[in-house]
Amino acid sequence: MKICIYGAGAIGGYLGVQLTRAGADVSLIARGAHLAAMRELGLMLLAGEEKHIVHPRCTDDPTELGVQDFIIITLKAHSITGVIEKMQPLLGPHTRIVTAVNGIPYWYFYKHGGQYENSTLESIDPGGRQWRELGPERAIGCIVYPATEIEAPGVIRHVYGNNFPLGEPSGEITSDVARLADLFVAAGLKAPVLDRIRDEIWLKLWGNVCFNPISALTHATLDVICTDPATRALSRAIMVETQAIAETFGVKFRVDVERRIEGARKVGAHKTSMLQDLERGRPMEIDPLVTVVQEMGRLTGIPTPALDSVLAMVTQRARIAGLYDGVSTPADPRALALA
């Protein structure tokens, strides 16, 4: 089974080590010092007291790799459109694309049913390029729950978690998603195949849509955001708006708002990914985590005053820092051409 991990950073590197150890034919797409270190010394995973080193194929040039069975995209979601052309040599008639990214994926309305079937979302897929050039029919959904970090070039530190729920947009358990799940399990990972993958996408996004931008504005960690009365109330208001939008699309939440906030509080003094990106001078995932929810609210006619205010402030914050080049005011989705 040929697997290309496109964007072999912290999560991609973790998957790369585990899948290589399980016997898969793994190739990693990376760049810079991280790529150079992996080529020279291999890819190291530090997990508790354990240390594993593997030597998968590593490159910054996809043309070297040929057609793959699976491409696991572990890039920041806002980076995908910029590498569509580079991905083309990896795609064959049976290649599947596993979207291990935060937020709403480009294929969301594929096999969705109802009036929004085959719609695209401008905030996450400008001009519908991912839909047209990668193809929603190739997609397998994947939610990333582990926490990992690049400790040094070529060195991945596993912090906690090993759960990667998978699912077909249609809800079917196909042979493709079943064999991918089997490989993940052989690699020591949890990979339940869900028949309602969108529910799980929204459950994770439910926290990201509020905690991420609030942390970038306040520099507060999760425990503080969820304990301080003002930021907890603001988080709750955004989550209530988000839930109303998601439920319009048939999503079912298996926990309530208060339980979701409490779960985040118990994580402790954790910096969200958006705050980490801000501190490191990297573009923040504003559009796939926040703007897309606003866009879907406009699509359904549900007002989002709390989200709108926080989005406006975090977007301005990112622009001032030179860390935003996205879509601050998405086009009316009903005006977009269907694929």
List active site positions.
Answer: 204
**DSSP one-letter string for 283-336:** ---HIIIIIHHHHHHHHHT---HHHHHHHHHHHHHHHHTT---S-SSPPPGGGS
Distant-in-sequence contacts of 78-87, Cβ < 8 A, 24+ apart: 78/283, 78/285, 78/286, 78/287, 78/288, 78/326, 79/7, 80/106, 80/130, 81/125, 81/126, 81/129, 81/130, 83/6, 84/129, 84/130, 84/133, 84/134, 85/133, 86/62, 87/6, 87/62, 87/134
Query: DSSP character for 25?
Result: E
How far is it between the farthest Cα atoms of the chain? 54
Phi, psi of 133, rounded to the nearest 5 degrees: -100, -25
Phi, psi of 307, rounded to the nearest 5 degrees: -60, -40
**83 and 106 Cβ atoms separated by less than 8 Å:** no
Instruction: Tell me the Cα Rg of the chain.
Output: 19
Q: How far is CA 27 from CA 260, 267, 279, in A?
A: 36, 33, 30
